[in-house]
Amino acid sequence: MIKKIQKSLEIDNLLKIYFPHYRRTNDPFENIAIYKDKEIKGIVVYSIIYERSEINYILVMKNYRHQNIGTQLLEFAIDEIKKNKCQNISLEVNTDNLTAVNFYLKNNFEIKAVRQNYYGSKDAYLMVKELR
Ligand SMILES: CC(C)(COP(=O)(O)OP(=O)(O)OC[C@H]1O[C@@H](n2cnc3c(N)ncnc32)[C@H](O)[C@@H]1OP(=O)(O)O)[C@@H](O)C(=O)NCCC(=O)NCCS
């Protein structure tokens, strides 16, 4: 039920609703996977840039949270990233977003730094998961 897809207007619009800072790019390093049965329940956007990788966005629709969908999407992205022999995965997350911070901690990401004013007036944690 998780599959890689091309970027589309539908995905852009879903991401825009949840991430006010979301900007559409034509970044060739960016990958998208969705969790879908009758409808799209979750989306992960991740970049693989040679030996570096990033989780750009992960989103589970409100009605489907706490059903392990976020974890499955993250594991899908991690498997893809590992195939590309990346050394680690990094991401930025709003320090106020405790749900997401806890979600990443549970999935063995570590807080490495605070990026001041990363989201306008809001700070972000730089979180990293080592892969070897
Ligand atoms: C973060 C997010 C993707 C998690 O998705 P999810 O499908 O609910 O996550 P899972 O069901 O796989 O949860 C895995 C674990 O993460 C942690 N977690 C998830 N939601 C949590 C919450 N509200 N509070 C505390 N911990 C939470 C828990 O440890 C959870 O395990 P549990 O369900 O056994 O308690 C989802 O909450 C979301 O879409 N949030 C809005 C978008 C966002 O903030 N994305 C991250 C920034 S890019």
Q: What's the whole-model pTM score?
A: 0.93
Does 66 contact ligand 1 (Cβ within 6 A)?
Answer: yes
Q: What angle do CA 65, 80, 83 make, to 5 degrees?
A: 155
pLDDT value, residue 25: 81
- Rounded to the nearest whole angstrom, what is the distance from the C-alpha of residue 72 to the centroid of ligand 1? 11
pLDDT value, residue 84: 92
pLDDT value, residue 38: 93
Mean pLDDT split into 10-residue runs, the chain, 132 residues: 94 92 85 96 96 96 97 97 94 97 98 95 96 84
Query: Which atom of ligand 1 lies nearest, measured to the CA of 60?
Result: 39
Q: What is the DSSP string of 63-117?
A: GGTTSSHHHHHHHHHHHHHHHTT-SEEEEEEETT-HHHHHHHHHTT-EEEEEEEE
Fold classification of 2-130 (topology level)? Aminopeptidase (3.40.630)
Residue 69, number of CB atoms within 10 A of its CB: 19
Residue partners of 42: CB distance under 8 A and separation at least 6: 34, 35, 58, 59, 60, 61, 64, 69, 70, 73
Residue nearest ligand 1's atom 10 by CA: 68
- Residue spans of the domains in the chain: they are 2-130
Residue 5, number of CB atoms within 10 A of its CB: 14
Query: Which atom of ligand 1 lies nearest, measured to the CA of 65?
Result: 8
Q: Which of 1, 2, 41, 99 to mutate to test the pocket of ligand 1 (most atoms within 8 A of CB)?
A: 99
Token output for 83: 């195939």
- Rounded to the nearest whole angstrom, what is the distance from the C-alpha of residue 124 to the centroid of ligand 1? 17
- Rounded to the nearest whole angstrom, what is the distance from the C-alpha of residue 12 to the centroid of ligand 1? 21
